Amino acid sequence: MIIRKRQQNHQRKRPAFVLSANLHDSQVLKFPEWCDAGGFSQRTGRRILSAGTGPAVVRLSDKRMGVTVGAHRQWLASRERAS
C-alpha cells in the first residue's frame, strides 16, 4: 500500500499594499488595497463594514467601493488602546 502525502494548495500571494507616509489623505484606496493595508481578508473587510465599525466608505460606482487614506488612518487611530 502506497501512502501519498497530501498536496497543499500553494496560493500565489499578492504583495501586501503598504501605506507610505507620502500618500495624501484624500487618496482613495480600492477595497482590496484597503484590506491589504489593514492586514485582513476581503471577507473580514466586508464584515467590518457591514457591522458599521469600519471607516467611511467612498462609492466609486454601483459595485465598487473604496476608503480614503485619511479615513483609514483615523479608523486605525480610533482602534488603538493604551498598553
Count Cβ atoms within 10 A of the Cβ of residue 68 and give its class: 0-12 exposed, 13-18 middle, 19 or more buried.
buried
Domain count, the chain: 1
Residue 53 covered by a domain:
yes
Q: What's the chain's length in residues?
A: 83
Residue 22 covered by a domain:
no
Q: How confident is the model at residue 4 (pLDDT cuts 50, 70, 90)?
A: low
pLDDT of residue 71: 96
pTM here is 0.74
pLDDT of residue 62: 94
Residue 83 covered by a domain:
no
* Average of per-residue pLDDT values in the chain: 85
Contact residues for 61 (Cβ-Cβ < 8 A; gap 6+):
none
Residue 62 covered by a domain:
yes
pLDDT of residue 32: 95
Q: How many degrees, rounded to 5, is the angle at CA 31 between CA 57 and CA 38? A: 95
Residue 64 covered by a domain:
yes
Contact residues for 41 (Cβ-Cβ < 8 A; gap 6+):
35
The predicted-structure confidence for 5-45, as pLDDT tens digits, reads as follows 555 555 555 656 777 778 899 999 999 999 999 999 999 99
Helix (H, G, I), strand (E, B) or coil at 25: coil
Q: Which domain holds residue 39?
A: 28-78
